[in-house]
Structure 1
């Protein structure tokens, strides 16, 4: 027999995961009200569901912009979904706004994901890391492991999808997008973005 779950707990789980109300209620009932277990199970279900949709073509969507307080930095973002119906939904528009704000709040981010980072950038970062004083004299096997670990960390700092979400640091932007794929039932892709920083690249 399923236990009774309060609307407050259902809403709390929904806010943390982005899953539907009924899915949240069922997850809480199945976990005997344990919200952490419910979150874990919903993430597993959502990941499987989202992965099935992620190869579908997404050509609709919207262009979102965000200018930070003080008007010294802003961003323009293109985010895609499959239909105009979903593009007009409040949840999709909120996602777009949150991601635009995330880009502005992430000064190191330059690319949508790791795959978008050019080879020459990877090569430069690898050379810089390889020349650090604390590893230059280590044996090759250990040195290679250190370089790979530091390179992965450095490249993730450049990747938007690998950033912890500023409104819920328990998840990454990639996980946030997947949650919304499950919620809205369509593939969602962050296609591109452009930052604008006041005075950047001006010759003084």
Structure 2
């Protein structure tokens, strides 16, 4: 069968939507007979295997986004990527907006990843679990395993990357980020976020209420 002619406009559109390289976009469109949606899927599948390799590359561009819910909760988040081209693309913008909304929806989230949680917090959670009455009658090796599982679950609840995505709870945020890395072909890093809740006191704020 004759090959579909891939127009430059189509290649440009796929590049803008995914941030992938020109040759990759041409190949994706050729493999999918010029179908834009299938080409995006092709790039995503092709990239997933290289998402891990990309995690070591410098991500110094990106976006800062804000999300305000009902004038009561405000979030600022910074997400980094490698190039300004990707930072301006719709897919990256959508990811950053989704992450800002996720932080607003998860008041218990204080850290980006489990690695960011201070050792003192981990130790405290472990001590609390060890004191639970339902564990006292268990043999020590069983007790340790149960505590490990409970502490891991508790720490995951405190981190953004381990949250189920609010738009699709079959997907964790870390998987959403990996998928976007695969689609865009660049390392992406959630750098930092801050959440403000109306009337909430900072831990170091003096009590000046009248």
Change (3 A) 1:45 1:138: farther
Give per-residue Cα distances to partners, 1:38-84, cap 9 Å, x unaligned.
x9x9987544221111110000101111011x211111101000011
Change (3 A) 1:138 1:74: same
What's the Cα RMSD here? 2.4
- Residue 136 of structure 1 and its aligned partner are, at CA, apart by 2.4
Distance 1:42 1:184 in 2: 8
Q: Bigger CA drift: 128-137 or 157-166? A: 128-137
Give per-residue Cα distances to partners, 1:129-163, cap 9 Å, x unaligned.
11111112321011101100000100000111011
- 1:96 aligned counterpart, secondary structure: helix
Partner in structure 2 of residue 200 of structure 1: 200
Distance 1:107 1:117 in 2: 16
Give the length in aligned residue pairs.
171
Distance 1:52 1:74 in 2: 34
User: Is this contact kept in 1: 2:46–2:182, CA < 8 A?
Assistant: no
- 1:120 aligned counterpart, secondary structure: helix
Partner in structure 1 of residue 147 of structure 2: 147
Equivalent runs, 1:107-126 vs 2, <5 Å: 107-126=107-126
Partner in structure 2 of residue 188 of structure 1: 188
- Any unmatched runs of 5+ in structure 1? 1-17, 27-38
Give per-residue Cα distances to partners, 1:13-50, cap 9 Å, x unaligned.
xxxxx9x9959x86xxxxxxxxxxxx9x9987544221
Distance 2:137 2:196 in 1: 41
Partner in structure 1 of residue 38 of structure 2: none
Which TM-score applies when normalising by structure 2? 0.75
Q: Bigger CA drift: 42-51 or 106-115? A: 42-51
Give per-residue Cα distances to partners, 1:72-110, cap 9 Å, x unaligned.
111110100001111111111111000000011112111
Partner in structure 2 of residue 63 of structure 1: 64
Partner in structure 2 of residue 127 of structure 1: 127
